[in-house]
Structure 1
Amino acid sequence: MGELRYAQYPSLNRRRVLITGGASGIGEAFVEAFAGQGAQVAFCDIDDAAGNVLAERLEAHGPGRLRYWHCDLTDLDAVRAFVAEAVEWLGGLDVLLNNAANDRRHALEAVTPEMWDALMAVNLRHQFFVTQAALPVLRQSKAASIVQMSSIAWMIPSTGLPVYVAAKAAIAAMSRSLARELGKDGIRVNAICPGAIATEKQRKVVLTAEYEAQVLAAQSLKRMLEPEEVARLALFLAADDSAGITGQCHIIDAGWV
């Protein structure tokens, strides 16, 4: 196979983009990919060190304009404040990428009502309320696209993290419902369902040699997927090239499901 070359989307140049959980992992790849397209990017996280380093690096070398915010997405007052400040800085909003999540493992028997609420807050609830806060400005865009991060975890289904799996299934369902509800406003809503993605965190915490062997045995393509590959799918779903696509759950899993 020859050298791979990737698309540049003219429609994403100067497009106004908001990304949650953008300091590391797949979120970092999203921020870098959109900045590389010349988009204006506002992103948030709770890891200030990583977020500030990423912003400084991309501001120095990328064509896009970007800014980092600290935001605990489990705090809905902070969510609303972040969206308001980011939209003001961007001068509007065209693309919302609801990415933030935490897939920490948890045993079924160990889940308490308090743990359930905490896991849902970090994996599901903020996607709804960030979207709700952003809707007034998205309705003003002529090319609005919402991209929500789900997972194939609910399709396989995964074990050892039942609340996370439930949240990711809910995101896929919510995306379809929002797509139907917001279509009249010209707002597209799609979900991305990644498989095993070799982020730095996954390599440290989850991707043991044994688990990687299991992943590769399940996949059609016998290699690990990288965060940049998920980001390239998000670029397409935000660009005018996908203007007729909404209400779908787009799987990127190297042929696992």
Structure 2
Amino acid sequence: MELSSLGRFPSLDSKVVFITGGGTGIGAALTECFVAQGSRVAFVDIDVDGSNRLQDALQAQYGRKPLFRRCDITDIAALQKTIAEIAAELGPIDVLVNNAANDQRHKWQDTTVEYWDERMAINLRPMFFAMQAVLPGMTAKKAGSIINIGSMSWKARQGGMPAYTTAKAAIHGLTRGMARDVGKDNIRVNTVVPGWVMTERQLKLWVTPESGAEIDRQQCLAGRVMPVDIAQMVLFLAADDSKMCSAQEFTVDGGWV
């Protein structure tokens, strides 16, 4: 899908946007779509090579590139320090997209306490602490949008990864509670719930002819959910067009759940 054929959101021009896991997959689509809108974009990722390639590609296509910092989001002190450094360089963050996650499969029989905690440290804990880091700046400006990326996996009763589905189910509870706490300062908090998105990782590891047939059976809509489809919903929620949307979940899954 060519971004030139999609809508523009004038309110996103020059907004400071921070994205976790913005170097590959859905995150790369988020990064590109915000750059295309004229936003000042920064992202963190642990994939340095992929992130550098993305920067170079966006520089070539748009004449500007996002700011990239390598950061392991499980290290909360490092994450919050990186957010502070980016805010000092670009200005207070207007939009936070909590995107980074890892959907590694695992059996309930083999799940240890240590593995469970590690899954939460990747898929849930950084979301709250990234919010904690950006909210003082948003509160001072009396404006801001936070978008947490969830998953339809738990709604679809997907098995084979209980820690992941638990973390993703918890995200909407985090969204709704925080939306209440910060709404008085005109800060919006929402969840975007992707379906089965055709990222490079999914295509490499799990999308087979059999699973493709399952997608065809389960989705109401024909075709495949692509990273840009998720990004377009995130753009709407980041923009002033959604100024009265908060504490909600917005599902982009082709009508699966």
The letter of the residue matching 1:202 is Q
Question: 1:107 corresponds to which residue?
Answer: 107
Give distance in 2, aligned partners of 1:89 and 1:49: 23
- Bigger drift between 79-88 and 61-70 goes to 61-70
Deviations 1:145-195, CA, capped at 9 Å, x for gaps = 000001111211211111100000100111011111110111000000011
Deviations 1:103-126, CA, capped at 9 Å, x for gaps = 010001010000001101010000
TM-score (norm 2): 0.96
Gaps of 5+ in 1: none
Give distance in 2, aligned partners of 1:60 and 1:91: 25
Q: Do the aligned partners of 1:191 and 1:250 also contact (CA within 8 Å) in 2?
A: yes
Question: 1:56 corresponds to which residue?
Answer: 56
Please say if 1:95 is aligned against 2:103.
no
Question: 2:67 corresponds to which residue?
Answer: 67
Question: 2:240 corresponds to which residue?
Answer: 240
Structure 1 segments (4+ residues) deviating >3 Å: none
The letter of the residue matching 1:152 is M
Question: 1:131 corresponds to which residue?
Answer: 131
Gaps of 5+ in 2: none
Give distance in 1, aligned partners of 2:216 and 2:171: 26
Q: Do the aligned partners of 1:12 and 1:239 also contact (CA within 8 Å) in 2?
A: yes
Give distance in 1, aligned partners of 2:229 and 2:236: 11
Question: 1:215 corresponds to which residue?
Answer: 215
Give the number of equivalent residue pairs: 254
Q: Do the aligned partners of 2:142 and 2:185 also contact (CA within 8 Å) in 1?
A: no
Question: 1:151 corresponds to which residue?
Answer: 151
Question: 1:163 corresponds to which residue?
Answer: 163
User: 1:65, CA displacement in angstroms?
Assistant: 5.2
Cα RMSD, aligned residues only: 1.2
User: 1:57, CA displacement in angstroms?
Assistant: 1.7
The letter of the residue matching 2:149 is M
- Bigger drift between 62-71 and 80-89 goes to 62-71
The letter of the residue matching 1:95 is V
User: 1:63, CA displacement in angstroms?
Assistant: 5.6
The letter of the residue matching 1:251 is T
Question: 2:251 corresponds to which residue?
Answer: 251
The letter of the residue matching 2:190 is N
User: 1:64, CA displacement in angstroms?
Assistant: 5.3
Q: Do the aligned partners of 1:80 and 1:133 also contact (CA within 8 Å) in 2?
A: yes
Question: 2:18 corresponds to which residue?
Answer: 18
Secondary structure (helix, strand or coil) at the match of 1:140 reads helix
